[in-house]
Amino acid sequence: MKTSPQHWTLTLILLMAFNAFAALPSRAQDYQQDADRLAPLLDWHAGSVVADIGAGGGELTLDAAKVVGPTGKVYTTELDDKKFPRLQDLAAKHNNITALKAGVTDTNLPPACCDSIFMRLVYHHLTKPAEIDASLFKSLKPGGLLGVIDEEPKPGSKRPEGVPENRIGHGVPEKIMIGEVTAAGFEVVKRIDDWPDEHYCVIFRKPAN
């Protein structure tokens, strides 16, 4: 049976597409890479108390829970009513995870409960950033660390509904985010502008006294 040139061309295209797709990192790998980089930056270790703000499906929550172990704790929070049940399921299955329903102006974390707090691609969705920054400050222990992973707005992208107009598009300028977080009392510890996927990461500290 003869095979036409068109058949071989189509086969080659499909094979190339499959190989390209297979080479792409999975979402799980993306989160694991972020967790691997955050762990030393935020000093995660056995017994640490950590919070994942706007945790979504809880991928980073699980990665953090593995690091802090059974003697540690991870608070996982979410504002979205559709996503929060996923976090409740995780908390039911893991003794070191506690799920909390977040508010628009408050993380609803206990005062001074955390050694570190982080958020991944969440900050640019905050409609009340000043209030949330104040809540984050209150929820950290003295000397505690805050990690913010986010992205610069893409030209022509749509600004999320309800966020401050200075966001310009979908994302938040690093300079603006730093200004807002430091206004709440935080100090900048480190800026990482070559985070994977064209994101940036800024580490802040709550003063020890």
Q: Quickly list DSSP for 95-156.
A: TTEEEEE--SS---PPTT-EEEEEEES-GGG-SSHHHHHHHHHHHEEEEEEEEEEE-PPPTT
Number of domains within the chain: 1
What is the per-residue pLDDT across 29-80, written as a single tens digit (0 to 9) for each?
778 889 999 999 999 999 999 999 999 999 999 999 999 999 999 999 999 9
Tell whether 109 is covered by a domain. yes
pLDDT of the residue at 10: 53
Q: Which CATH number does the domain housing residue 148 bear? A: 3.40.50.150
Among 121, 127, 183, residue whose Cα is nearest residue 152: 121
- Domain membership flag for residue 13: no
For residue 1, tell me if it sits in a domain.
no
In a domain, 177, yes or no: yes
Q: Is the pLDDT of residue 4 over 80?
A: no
In-domain check, residue 64: yes
Q: Is residue 15 part of a domain?
A: no
Instruction: Using CA atoms of 6, 8, 14, 19 in order, give the dihedral in degrees to the nearest 10.
Output: -150
What range defines the domain where residue 118 resides? 26-205
Distance CA(54)–CA(10), nearest Å, equals 43
Asked if the model's pLDDT at residue 143 lies above 90, the reply is yes
pLDDT of residue 18: 45
Residue 2's pLDDT band (boundaries 50, 70, 90)? Answer: low
Asked if residue 105 is part of any domain, the answer here is yes
Predicted confidence at residue 17, as pLDDT, reads: 47
Domain-embedded: residue 9? no
pTM for this model (two decimals): 0.85
pLDDT tens-digit readout, 113-142: 999 999 999 999 999 999 999 999 999 999
